Amino acid sequence: MAAKETMKLVANNKKAYHDFFIDETYEAGVALHGTEVKSLRLGKCSIKESFIRIENGEVFVYGMHISPYEKGNLFNKDPLRVKKLLMHKYEINKLTGKIKEKGYTLVPLQVYFKEGKAKVEVGLARGKKLYDKREDIAKKDQRREMERDFKVKNI
């Protein structure tokens, strides 16, 4: 029997796709406290300005904002505290080697629940230049124009 995978998206980082070329993606668990999980389940999370660093063989996400849980009172943690990501050692070693290459960085792409566990999709990314961003915007506009023309012709 194949278990059905359930995935509930909590936060998406659209800015990362605009600012970076995403070469590879990895899935990582997040070490959270109780009220943070409850707040995540309510969808109160932002990863727009967050980034990921590898320190002493451990992966941490900085700037990931999880709003305090309303009913959590003294059990709430700091919304911007540094959170540890849970990954396999060989993945961390592979990422460390890639990051040492010029121009690579790690960015969080999505936060979601998979089978009841909070996960972060980590992207190995290269920065885009201004002309790359303009080129992407032009392609989107062109695709949108084509879809609009196609829709008009088929009506």
Is the distance from CB of 63 to CB of 50 less than 8 angstroms? yes
Is the distance from CB of 82 to CB of 91 less than 8 angstroms? no
Q: Residue 78's beta-bridge partner residues?
A: none
Pick from 41, 62, 59: nearest CA to 111: 41
pTM of the model: 0.74
How many Å separate Cα 81 from the centre of its chain? 17
**Tens-digit pLDDT string for the chain (155 aa):** 455 567 788 888 888 887 888 888 899 998 888 888 888 888 888 888 888 888 888 989 998 888 887 777 766 777 788 889 998 999 888 888 888 877 788 889 888 888 888 888 988 888 777 777 788 788 888 888 888 877 777 66
**Two tokens at 129?**
């230049």
Tell me the domains of the chain and their CATH numbers.
Answer: 7-128 (2.40.280.10)
Rounded to 5 degrees, φ, ψ at 91 are -70, -40
Alpha-carbon distance 115 to 19, whole Å? 30
